[in-house]
Structure 1
Amino acid sequence: MKLLPSLAAGFAGAIALTALHETARRLRPADAPRMDVLGMRGLRKLLGKADAPQPDDDTLFDLTMAGDILSNGFYYTLVGSGRHALARGLALGSLAGVGGVLLPGPMGLGEAPTNRTPQTQAMTVAWYTVGGLVAGAVAQALRKHR
């Protein structure tokens, strides 16, 4: 696996995913997934366990967005830069989407942000899948230009 192309592809997927989430939450507030809410809840929990000061809401949101792009970018880096990057992107994206629907409740972050409606669940899976596909497509494009 080539590190720089994999990182570029992974972060392209993460940026696409975050752009989808943020656009949809503004256009469809009733049923869009709220991964930002899950991220802020998770960060508040981590800071609380570390006895660290709690940031104000604006700072918390900014930190969450940065954390989402970093964590998803590194996750999508697993797509790699080989021949089957698009298939790996599809698989990794789908897995992340299913995890986004199934895991928040057991992790103590609440279920509503990704399970509010069947549309919310479908969008969660679809958007993570799109992020994986973007990562795979970028990886393939970079592979062709080497």
Structure 2
Amino acid sequence: MKKSSTVLQAVGSGLAGALVLNILHETVRHIRPADAPRMDVLGKRGLRKLLRKADAPQPDEDTAYGLTMLGDLASNGLYYSLVGTGGGVWLRGAALGLAAGVGGVVLPGPMGLGEGPSNRTPQTKAMTVAWYLIGGLATAGVSWAWSKAQE
């Protein structure tokens, strides 16, 4: 496989995993508002914090939400693209997904973004880790299928 097609496969698979993750987060937060992870809230807090430090104007709520979703897709897509191609994608997808999920539970507090959105109940913590794991496995599945289609 050519280098350019390998990169395309990794990035495309990563974006697919990020899309699965975001759809899952957004769906469950509407179904279980009491304990679903609210990564959108963490994203908006992070965005507002960065804009404040840059002394830039704050967007309205809808714009902040849209920018956060776009940022989530881009950053998670690039992160999940590390799953890559070839052998071992399932293990890399699981490992990267678990790492992101654990990070999503333990890092927001120390980063000054609050703990509630991903850490307020045991169910919230479990869902946070599970959703990122699912995103990593979705990435691995797309990469694996892409490789099979190239054979």
Once the two structures are superposed, residues 26-83 of structure 1 have per-residue CA deviations (whole angstroms, 9 ceiling, x without a partner) of: 0000000000000000000000000111000000000000000000000000000111
Which structure 1 residue ranges, 5 or more long, are not aligned? none
- TM-score of the superposed pair, with normalisation by structure 2: 0.95
- TM-score of the superposed pair, with normalisation by structure 1: 0.99
Distance 1:8 1:85 in 2: 14
Distance 1:139 1:127 in 2: 18
Report the AA paired with residue 44 of structure 1: R
SS in 1 for 2:36: coil
Once the two structures are superposed, residues 106-140 of structure 1 have per-residue CA deviations (whole angstroms, 9 ceiling, x without a partner) of: 00000000111000000000000000000001000
Q: What are the equivalent positions in structure 2 for 1:130-141 lying under 5 Å apart?
A: 130-141=134-145
Cα root mean square deviation, aligned: 0.7
Aligned residue in 2 for 1:39: 43
Distance 2:14 2:97 in 1: 11
Which structure 2 residue ranges, 5 or more long, are not aligned? none
The answer to whether the aligner puts 1:120 opposite 2:124 as a matched pair is: yes
Pick from 111, 114, 128: which aligns with 2:115? 111
Give the 4+ runs in structure 1 shifted more than 4 A.
none
Distance 2:149 2:26 in 1: 31
Distance 2:88 2:129 in 1: 21
Aligned residue in 2 for 1:83: 87
Q: Percent identity?
A: 64
Q: How many residues end up aligned between the 2 structures?
A: 146
Aligned residue in 2 for 1:71: 75
The answer to whether the aligner puts 1:53 opposite 2:57 as a matched pair is: yes
Residue 22 (structure 1) shift? 0.1
Residue 145 (structure 1) shift? 1.0
Distance 2:103 2:57 in 1: 29
Distance 2:87 2:97 in 1: 17
Pick from 92, 103, 106: which aligns with 2:96? 92
